[in-house]
Structure 1
Amino acid sequence: MKAQFRLIALAFFIISTHLLSSCSSPKQTETVTGEKPNVIIILADQWRAQEVGYMGNTQVKTPNLDKLASQSLVFENAITTMSVCAPFRASLLTGQYPLTHGVFYNDKPLPNEALTMAEIYKENGYATGYIGKWHLNGHARGQTYNDSRGVPVPKDRRQGFDYWKGREVSHNYNNSFYFDENDVKHTWEGYDAFPQTDSAISYIQKNKEHPFVLMLSYGSPHDPYFTAPKEYQDMYNAADLKVRDNVPLAFQDSARNVMAGYYAHISALDFAIGNLIDALDKAGISDNTILVFSSDHGDMLMSKGVLKKQRPYDESIKVPMLIRYPDKLGRASRRIIDPIGTPDILPTLLGLSDIQKPSTFEGKDFSKELEDGKDLGNEATLIMLPVPFHEWKFSNGGREYRGIRTKQYTYAKDLKGAWLLFDDEKDPFQENNLVDKPEYKELQAKLDGILLQKLKEVNDTFLPADEYMTQWNYLYDMNDSLRVANYLELNR
């Protein structure tokens, strides 16, 4: 009798649940197909956030990205945690901060033991592919710079990516070479971004029937600035370009010339990205594909009189970022204002993919906020430079720093204490340093407290650079370790 009652009750529960679910409208965040989403990450190198049309720049030509932005989440404060190539890439693939995964200096190896994006997705039934610049193989610990940039990346150093058309590093964008899965050397004919994109399109067509994760990693618009195809160079006249307000007068002509070449690379990449987006549509998988466009860091482009990256200024740390995923996020454009850091990207992608976040991650999963149509609710994200090197080595004024970027403020400390404080809304070119000004005492104390708490959360005790180099058995390259006696006082 009891058994019969339980069966009747169970049947009633199932019927009731079915009726309730069929009468209620589906959530906006549910996928249309119920299938695992594909993931495509388009990554540029040294493309700063300010240089796209959809962010209000009227002199750079990016029609395909502007169209993509009209269908995507637009992250207005995507912040690279450490604005250098290899550290960004390691944080993107691991969801960890540089002092955890150990890649806080270019050409140092991401450990094989790291749990990475491709390994996680592969465990969940995904095919994995990588095309373009890698920059995570490096040279062995205890060695200085060698030719690791021009040799094949061993299979066990590809961090779970199976399909492979990669090169450790090259900034020759014309007829450059790469290696396939079997370490066979090939040539990208012409401007390499174009055949790289063709390979990505081929990969999409061959894998459209089952889920895949693909990273397409371009080398440009990173310098050299004047090597884009001529038709794209002809699109820009340096004399017509307007530079940012924080470019000193003495550097403005140089800045215009560099920007013309930089913009040529950008428009060439925009063309390639447009072809890839068209291929997704033709393959019929756009709606169920998480498409991400971003960059590893920016470029000062003569703002404050300097080039390239590593510095804690917006030209260096802010990058463009779009995420389009029609099945869960719709096709309406939406601006995300709260800051997001590099280690947050992978946890958020896994959340959108309905894959559990591993315990090794330090970044935050913002997928629920994105699916619910909200902003991130993230007060601040970390920025850092544990070890200055190469173009911003100690002797060039480089210094260790930690900082935070909020949607309104930038705050940074060096080893001597508070260094920079900018109100980025009132002072978008970061020309008025508010550190230690009496009227900003409370604000500075608040931001300092946020920074200290974030450092505590990731066990970062902010030591001098040499401490980390010793801990990881790294050697400085060339003359990176040389300091002048007052290097911390430079640029104060």
Structure 2
Amino acid sequence: MKPILILFLVACSIAISADFLKPAKSNNSSLNPEQNTKPNIVFVLADQWRAQEVGYAGNDQIITPNLDKLASESLVFENAITTMAVCAPWRASFLTGQYPLTHGVFYNDKPLPNEALTFAEIYKEAGYQTGYIGKWHLNGHARGADPFSARDQPVPKDRRQGFDYWKVREVTHNYNNSFYFDENDVKNTWEGYDVFPQTDSAISYITKNKENPFVLMLSYGPPHDPYFSAPKEYQKLYDAGTLKLRPNVPEEFQDSARRVLAGYYAHATAIDKAIGDLLEGIEKAGVADNTIFVFTSEHGDMLMSRGALKKQRPWDEAIKVPMLIRYPGKFGHESREVFDPIGTPDILPTLLGLSDIPIPKSIEGKDFSGNLLAGKDLGNEATLIMLPVPFHEWQFKNGGREYRGIRTKRYTYVKDLLGPWLLYDNEKDPYQLNNLVDQDEYKDLQKEMEGILKKKLKATHDKFLPADEYMTQWNYLYDRTDSLRAENYLQVDR
């Protein structure tokens, strides 16, 4: 080859490489200058996805390649803790940055007050477009009405808490026959398994709004039960007979647990595929570097650990959730583990901090953005966990009880109305099989945990009262399906 031609090809190669290495935003010459200073937010919420069920966490039997790749370029929160492990309370605490006894949604299907200052309203005031797709679960119902009467009704405009783009249903778990209401309360149908068309809608929203800063919340229904309704091609990926279970699943429940786990995994893998599509859509829109992408879940699922299903309980299967935050423009493309605990009310102020938006005084959670941007851990000693009122699948007659507790990086400590209930060293006992409460050799540790919990309760003005006190205070009725507590509850043997 002639020397001149060689030099020409080398020059071309260098030019191509230089273009390839430019940040994604350089391809968006049409973007508003605001876009370069205000990060977009894409917040993906799964329902009932526990922290242990992702490949990047060491689970070698679940198929989550897109989340694993996302984790390889994100902040990975090893102790993301749901403050109250049930649907509507999580949503209200995230949107407001407040604890359940402040915003009042400590029971499903109770309304988040219109007066609450929320995620979308704050970002909207800062000049953002706002959109919501999927499950809402914050409209609630009128006192005395059927507790589930609002689940199939449109959410009035003044109850949408600042979200303008709107493809929402209050609640459904029929993922294959799913409808939604749009901004004008027109009823539409999601074709097929709703996770996939909801994701397509999210990609369309991002593409249409990429020239201005936007907030988009995409709220999936799965892997919340029913466990056996994922598309058949995903169900076929898992053989229930070969699945390994956590050691805290009692032997008599293990066959059932494997069947449930296979269906749960099928939902999770379907969502993982959708998340891959969504991330690709963000890349194609050219806004990946300037987009804070969050993946998390409301709460976990016991999945027959301790012989129980679903949530509300204080064990790690219910309270620990996956959480990833990717923000290439500030954190780069490298993965980093965050070990200190973060609670639900802390997520909103931390996002506001990352977005350089002042944090309203109404927010009770902590802003950890400074530590994250400095490459540090959170510096958070513990996060609060709570259940002011047991209901539905863990109502009083099923063993439900009021509790308050803390989850530190290492320990879990919980008390109920009768006193200390649970104490675990999660480092030595990751399946929480050995309750250390009231054991002599751990009395100093228990005293230390009790002190931390008391400080948390004082800081949040939580008097830890019986459930009926809060129901009366907020003028709530127990749902028709729920039991009331026995009058002799203080004498009940635990």
Q: Which residue of 2 aligns with 1:54?
A: 56
Gaps of 5+ in 1: 1-30
Return the alpha-carbon distance in structure 1 between the equivalents of residues 440 and 124 of structure 2. 54
Out of 89, 93, 96, the residue aligned to residue 95 of structure 2 is 93
Deviation, structure 1 residue 482: 2.2
CA contact (8 A) 2:41 2:215 kept: yes
Cα distance in 2, alignment partners of residues 183 and 32 from structure 1: 32
Whether the 8 Å contact between 1:82 and 1:385 is mirrored in structure 2 is: yes
Query: TM-score, normalising length from structure 2?
Result: 0.92
User: Does the aligned pair in 1 maintain the 2:289–2:329 contact within 8 Å?
Assistant: yes
Alpha-carbon offset, residue 142 of structure 1? 5.0
Match of 1:74 in 2: 76
The whole-number CA distance in structure 1 between the counterparts of 2:177 and 2:393 is: 26
CA distance in 2, matches of 1:283, 1:479: 47
Which residue of 1 is the match for residue 360 of structure 2?
358
Which amino acid in the other structure matches residue 392 of structure 2? H
- Which residue pairs with 1:137 in the alignment? 139
Deviation readout 1:102-136 (Å, 9 max, x if unpaired): 00000000000000000000000000000000000
Contact kept, 8 Å, 1:44 with 1:296, in 2: the verdict is yes
Aligned partner (choices 155, 158, 161) of residue 160 of structure 2: 158
- In the aligned structure 2, how far is the partner of 1:374 from the partner of 1:178? 42
Structure 1 CA distance for aligned equivalents of residues 371 and 293 of structure 2: 18
Q: Does the C-alpha gap of structure 1 residues 436 and 490 become closer, same or farther in structure 2, counting only changes over 3 Å?
A: same
2:56 is paired with a residue of what secondary structure? helix
How far is 1:175 from its partner?
2.6
User: Within 2, Cα distance between the matches of 1:288 and 1:487?
Assistant: 54
Deviations 1:404-436 (A, max 9, x none): 000100000100110000000101110111110
Change (3 A) 1:234 1:490: farther
Matches within 5 A, 1:272-291: 272-291=274-293
Shift of 1:140: 2.1
Residues 394, 487 of structure 1: 8 Å contact kept: no
Report what 1:223 is aligned to.
225
Contact persistence 2:76–2:337 (CA under 8 A): yes
Query: Identity over the aligned pairs, expressed in percent?
Result: 76
Conserved in 2, the CA contact under 8 Å of 1:86 and 1:107?
yes
Task: State the Cα RMSD in Å.
Answer: 1.4
| 1:367 matches 2:393 | no
Unmatched segments (≥5 aa) in structure 2? 1-32
TM-score, normalization by structure 1: 0.92
Q: 2:445 aligns to what?
A: 443
CA 1:81–1:70 in 2, change beyond 3 Å: closer, same or farther? Answer: same
Alignment partner for residue 324 of structure 1, among 314, 326, 345? 326
Q: Could you report, residue by residue, the CA deviation over 1:294-317 in whole angstroms, capped at 9, with x for unpaired residues?
A: 000000000000100000000000
Q: 1:10 — aligned with what?
A: none
Cα distance in 2 for residues equivalent to 1:241 and 1:450: 39
User: Contact conserved, 1:97 with 1:362, CA < 8 A, in 2?
Assistant: yes
Q: Which amino acid in structure 1 is aligned with residue 358 of structure 2?
A: Q
Note the alpha carbon deviations across 1:420-473, whole angstroms, 9 max, x for none: 000001011101111100111110011000001011001000000000000000
Q: Is the 8 A contact 1:420 1:433 kept in 2?
A: yes
Which of 167, 171, 174 is equivalent to 1:172? 174
Question: Is the 1:32–1:327 Cα contact (8 Å) retained in structure 2?
Answer: no
Q: 3-state DSSP class of the match of 1:422?
A: strand
Cα distance, 1:336 vs structure 2: 0.3
Deviation at 1:212, TM superposition (A): 0.2
Q: C-alpha deviations, 1:145-192, integer Å up to 9, x for none?
A: 141000000010000000000000000000311100000000000000
What is the aligned length?
462
- Tell me the secondary structure at the aligned position of residue 150 of structure 1: coil
CA distance in 2, matches of 1:461, 1:347: 25
Equivalent residue runs for 1:453-464 within 5 Å: 453-464=455-466
CA distance in 1: counterparts of 2:225 and 2:104, whole angstroms:
26
Q: Could you tell me how far apart the structure 1 residues matched to 2:238 and 2:293 are?
A: 29
1:442/1:303 Cα in 2 relative to 1: closer, same or farther (>3 Å)? same
Please identify, of 137-146 and 109-118, the stretch whose mean Cα deviation from structure 2 is larger: 137-146
